[in-house]
Structure 1
Amino acid sequence: MQGTRREVMAGASALALLAGPTAGFAALAAGLPRRATPLPLSAVRLRPSDYATAVEVNRAYLLRLSADRLLHNFRAYAGLKPKGEVYGGWESDTIAGHTLGHYMSALVLLHEQTGDAQAKRRADYIVDELADAQAARGNGYIGAMQRKRKDGTVVDAIEIFPEIIKGDIRSGGFDLNGAWSPFYTVHKLFAGLLDIHASWGNAKALSVAIAFAGYFEPVFAALDDAQMQTMLGTEYGGLNESFAELFARTKDRKWLAIAERLYDRKVLDPLTAGQDKLANFHANTQVPKLIGLARIHELTGEPAKAAAPRFFWQAVTKHHSYVIGGNADREYFSEPDSISRHITEQTCEHCNTYNMLKLTRQLYSWQPDGALFDYYERAHLNHVMAAQDPKTAGFTYMTPLLTGAVRGYSTSADDAFWCCVGTGMESHAKHGESIFWEGEGALLVNLYIPADATWRARGATLTLDTRYPFEPTSTLTLTQLARPGRFAIALRVPGWAAGKAVVRVNGQPVTPSFASGYAIVERRWKAGDSVAITLPLELRIEATPGDDRTVAILRGPMVLAADLGTTEGDWTSPDPALVGTDLLASFRPSATPASYTTSGIVRPGDLSFVPFYKQYERRSAVYFKRFSEGEWKTEQAAFVAEQARLKDIAARSVDVVHLGEMQPEHDHGLTSELSFPTSYRNRNGRDARSGGFFEFTMKAKPGPLVLQATYWGEERGRDFDILVDNVKIATQRLSGDVPGKFIDIEYPLPPALTDKKSELKVRFVPHDRSSAGPVFGVVLFTAKPGTAK
């Protein structure tokens, strides 16, 4: 988590994690194991809770989907007649096929979590269909991906791979020779097949995966190291993990050799060296690379391959994560400790958190440490649970943290199929997977989620009864135990509760030992025994890393948000601020669990605070600027001055173009090529990509005129020209040197260019391999008297 989250990353436990998988375990005698594995998901059944509801909502969604529709392109491109109409959204785009991979994995998880037999039958059916498509092709390949040729024709993406073998490798980051992140999709298919094989031993799934891998073996073999690095500049998901896992299943070392070649030096070398150079990298492109590298470490024991995953986890959770546990703005990492400058409507892509939780589980299995699950709990509760609408089963792509922003969920028409729909399918099929862990005879409880479980090693049936995080006590009962015995039960104590946890055995207080974020009770247990932990669910304030004036409010692990009302209409109110010296004293509990009202500390007026994750159809404020009374007066004065500036410009305004909005663009005759509307921080705008432009007409009037364009101050590496009536008036470079705010740049127009004209054509043209903007509005206004040149 973040630098001020000392409760998550404090002290020796964090240092031990960095030191190595066997460091820091003097507490072993108290019962904490050196290694841990989760109880199988099939051994855990959820009891009623929001988590159980999420699984059931997702179950209905998964079973509503048509396997035949997801298989459409796989059959069509193999020369077989499709059995269902292709879905829309991304499944009708060049990334088609990635959803089927996620869907296979989700069906496996659903079967394991609930025992649903239909999920297993459907997964086996998909394997049979893929095997038929593979046999029809005759070369091992399976795929639904498409390639858009230069003439616009859309064809089977398989034709890019012979080009790659010849060394013809073209990518702008996500595309590869006209296909959209093809190896990302390939990884998802591998993952689905390998999950089906692992769960119930479907041998055909492994055979299809091996033949599929065999198609790519000569592709990679044809590339020298430099060409391989060029190819790895595109998004390739966790393809290294897939080949490593094939080695684990088959013991064929050629798959391990490929896994080790799938190593992006530009990203992974600095991380191995302990350097945080993540800024401006696409976040979710990177996380799976570390998961794969961690898997290679598990199979080879090479210490160097563990260094990068450990350092990456520390860097992301401490310096690049928001209070809900998600990361990235507009899908990209920013500079470390700059969260407060990136609180927008495009924060926290769900795929990122899905992958960060997977990486967290890997690191935890190497060396149990409560700090890892402090992060896991944070992200699981506040981000993952917010990313599914329990009414519609829709999923978010981003989970926006900008004040007043609306969550956008995929629709019930099944026409989105974003990447985050795929990870959403999986995330909400497996809420029981990380509750219980075991190691060296001990049981560890990491998440306080109501559940029953079978602990086969002890012949035990477990019941975890809790209403946490709404109520403080969680009780674990050994409902059945094959025979009495002495062993340890370790209950995670979150960092924010350190020194305050109360533990009882069979209702009587005990003094456990404490180590690495756990309360450990080692004794002779018998059937019917119970152990309970009570954690103080107190309010606390948490600052963003690098800015202690931007804060959020938490209750235990739960992020609270100010409820700003329904999502109807536009959000036009000022952002609320917290003013005072003892803020928490002004929070009063309300009748609704985990909800509060404030008194006198919120400007412009008091608000109710509620659990953030439950704000599915409501507007929220999560982050607040914090001021003393004196500072607030200064802030108000600055606000008044800015309003006066804007009012002055409005008074002198001749014409305004609201870019990115359909009617204003139409009214100003906008034309464009390779140009797209965008939205950021509640501002609409437009950009143009290399080779494109956008142009529009503005009204003019006699006298000196100034053209003003608005940009986001942290855009960097953008170079473009601005032309008026085909005359270049400026070359603009955006270099990201004005952090945290929009900037208005004025371009005085030469009088000869505007003389006697009633309208002007304004054109934005990017330089080669650059982009123009985004531009968040253009204003033409008269110059102040005496300022004209």
Structure 2
Amino acid sequence: MKGSTLFQVLAFLSVIGSVLSKECTNTPTQLSSHTFRYQLLKSQNETWKQEMFAYYHLIPTDDSAWSDLLPRKILRQEADELNWSMMYKKMKNPGSFKVGGDFLKEISLHDVRLDSDSIQGRAQETNLKYLLMLDVDNLVWSFRKTANLPTPGKPYGGWEAPDVELRGHFVGHYLSATSQMWASTHNDTLKEKMSAVVSALSACQKKMGTGYLSAFPSELFDRFEAIKPVWAPYYTIHKILAGLLDQYTFANDAQALDMTTWMVEYFYNRVQNVIRTHTVERHWLSLNEETGGMNDVLYRLFAITGNPKHLLLAHLFDKPCFLGLLAVQADDISGFHANTHIPIVIGSQMRYEVTSDPLYK
């Protein structure tokens, strides 16, 4: 089976050549720049915007071919059937996965303390002061606005500004940073602030009532799924999921884990709907937009919960058109946006650690 898959990949690459392989990304190289994307989305020059976004699609033939690179044909069409139930049946038994080797284990941050007089210790203190300086109400302002809750404080600017489509991703970074900083310092004030942020976000999630949690409305995902121009909504969702999962992992916040699993249930249903309504190829096409490390955080979550839905959704955020090139050690990967694709590789490492799938070694 492995040899057959490798042969298919090699045959496909030999046919399409080096130029078509760049079709794996759906935007011109310059659109991979977040600064450029911000300027473009804010621009009133409709002619320029239409010209740049004209490159936003793969043709269906190319997209179907990319789906053929999937390992073991897990998600390939069989006869006249390609649907969610078929995929689920093929992947719903996580018990068949066994860790195949010994992996290095990280030393717990709770067991490490830095010398306060060292360069590292002073850097840690600077970081701690910055995290303590941030205001809870300001951090969650756009989340509350999206959930139609009262909005005390004022929103931060930059990419957290209320009119920026990436708003909310910094809060995910904050949750990750504070959880690890607290594990390293056990600073009580920091624990109170990060717990307050988690509680505020939980209130937003409960108010919306669907499991969805973001600083922007779900309409951005409608555009994402329709392959229309939008600024990487899953990139932000990954940061929020990772931050909440870190709050559970490093600070043992059970509420954060519940929020994570509820969010994932929401997005599981969204992806399921795309595949049922269209095809799995349509889902792969949408992944040409930047999705952060969605596969990585979902494999991490599966390692905790053992829920086969989490494993399946993680697989569906692997990007086969890019990972297929890596699987055959192709040199023709220049021009791929690093910040889009390196997280996918990190997720592949997590997949191997969790499932021992040799293809991902």
Name the TM-score, length of structure 1 as normaliser.
0.31
* Aligned mates of 1:138, 1:261 — CA distance in 2: 25
1:269-290 CA distances to partner (integer Å, 9 max, x unpaired)?
Answer: 1111112333111111111101
User: Which residue of structure 1 aligns with residue 333 of structure 2?
Assistant: 278
Bigger relative CO (Cα 8 Å, ≥ 6 apart)? 2
Instruction: Check conservation: 2:183, 2:251, Cα contact below 8 A.
Output: no
Superposition pairs of residues 401-440 of structure 1, within 5 angstroms: none
1:512-547 CA distances to partner (integer Å, 9 max, x unpaired)?
Answer: xxxxxxxxxxxxxxxxxxxxxxxxxxxxxxxxxxxx
2:181 aligned residue (100, 110, 118):
110
Say whether 1:185 aligns with 2:241. Answer: no
The 1:35/1:249 distance shift into structure 2, 3 A limit, reads closer
- Aligned-residue offset at 1:74: 0.3
The 1:34/1:203 distance shift into structure 2, 3 A limit, reads closer
Amino acid at match of 1:188: K
User: Which residue of structure 1 aligns with residue 360 of structure 2?
Assistant: 305
User: Which residue of structure 1 aligns with residue 151 of structure 2?
Assistant: 82
- Aligned-residue offset at 1:225: 2.1
Instruction: Check conservation: 2:220, 2:233, Cα contact below 8 A.
Output: no
1:153-190 CA distances to partner (integer Å, 9 max, x unpaired)?
Answer: xxx3x1133455xx52224xxxx3xxx21101000000
Say whether 1:61 aligns with 2:125. Answer: no
- Aligned-residue offset at 1:36: 2.3
1:345-373 CA distances to partner (integer Å, 9 max, x unpaired)?
Answer: xxxxxxxxxxxxxxxxxxxxxxxxxxxxx
Say whether 1:211 aligns with 2:262. Answer: yes
User: Which residue of structure 2 aligns with residue 121 of structure 1?
Assistant: 192
- Aligned-residue offset at 1:100: 0.3
1:629-663 CA distances to partner (integer Å, 9 max, x unpaired)?
Answer: xxxxxxxxxxxxxxxxxxxxxxxxxxxxxxxxxxx
Amino acid at match of 1:297: Y
The 1:162/1:284 distance shift into structure 2, 3 A limit, reads closer
Over alpha carbons, which structure has the higher Rg?
1
User: Which residue of structure 2 aligns with residue 236 of structure 1?
Assistant: 291
Instruction: Check conservation: 2:295, 2:317, Cα contact below 8 A.
Output: yes
User: Which residue of structure 2 aligns with residue 667 of structure 1?
Assistant: none
1:27-75 CA distances to partner (integer Å, 9 max, x unpaired)?
Answer: xxxxxx9642122111111112211111111111111111210100100
The structure with the largest helix share of the pair is 2
1:169 aligned residue (227, 232, 242):
227
User: Which residue of structure 1 aligns with residue 67 of structure 2?
Assistant: none
SS at match of 1:46: coil
* Aligned mates of 2:263, 2:358 — CA distance in 1: 30
* Aligned mates of 2:113, 2:201 — CA distance in 1: 31
Aligned-pair RMSD on alpha carbons? 1.6
1:556-598 CA distances to partner (integer Å, 9 max, x unpaired)?
Answer: xxxxxxxxxxxxxxxxxxxxxxxxxxxxxxxxxxxxxxxxxxx
* Aligned mates of 2:156, 2:261 — CA distance in 1: 28
* Aligned mates of 2:254, 2:112 — CA distance in 1: 25
Q: Which runs of 5+ in 2 are unaligned?
A: 1-100
2:201 aligned residue (124, 130, 149):
130
* Aligned mates of 1:34, 1:243 — CA distance in 2: 22
2:140 aligned residue (71, 89, 114):
71
Amino acid at match of 1:193: L
Amino acid at match of 1:218: N
Superposition pairs of residues 665-744 of structure 1, within 5 angstroms: none
* Aligned mates of 2:222, 2:104 — CA distance in 1: 44
The structure with the largest strand share of the pair is 1
Amino acid at match of 2:172: G
- Aligned-residue offset at 1:250: 1.3
Count how many residue pairs are aligned between Structure 1 and Structure 2. 254
The 1:61/1:162 distance shift into structure 2, 3 A limit, reads same
1:44 aligned residue (112, 124, 132):
112
- Aligned-residue offset at 1:266: 2.4
Instruction: Check conservation: 2:110, 2:183, Cα contact below 8 A.
Output: yes
1:200 aligned residue (236, 247, 251):
251
User: Which residue of structure 2 aligns with residue 159 of structure 1?
Assistant: 219
User: Which residue of structure 1 aligns with residue 319 of structure 2?
Assistant: 264
The 1:192/1:115 distance shift into structure 2, 3 A limit, reads same
- Aligned-residue offset at 1:200: 2.8
Amino acid at match of 1:194: L
Superposition pairs of residues 373-772 of structure 1, within 5 angstroms: none
1:219-267 CA distances to partner (integer Å, 9 max, x unpaired)?
Answer: 1112222111211001100001122122112111011001011121221
* Aligned mates of 1:65, 1:228 — CA distance in 2: 37
SS at match of 2:113: strand
SS at match of 1:37: coil
* Aligned mates of 2:246, 2:128 — CA distance in 1: 18
Amino acid at match of 1:213: V
Amino acid at match of 1:46: L
Name the TM-score, length of structure 2 as normaliser.
0.68
* Aligned mates of 2:169, 2:136 — CA distance in 1: 13
User: Which residue of structure 1 aligns with residue 41 of structure 2?
Assistant: none
* Aligned mates of 2:339, 2:226 — CA distance in 1: 26
User: Which residue of structure 1 aligns with residue 73 of structure 2?
Assistant: none
* Aligned mates of 2:206, 2:106 — CA distance in 1: 37
> Segments of 4+ in structure 1 off by > 4 A?
none
1:742-788 CA distances to partner (integer Å, 9 max, x unpaired)?
Answer: xxxxxxxxxxxxxxxxxxxxxxxxxxxxxxxxxxxxxxxxxxxxxxx
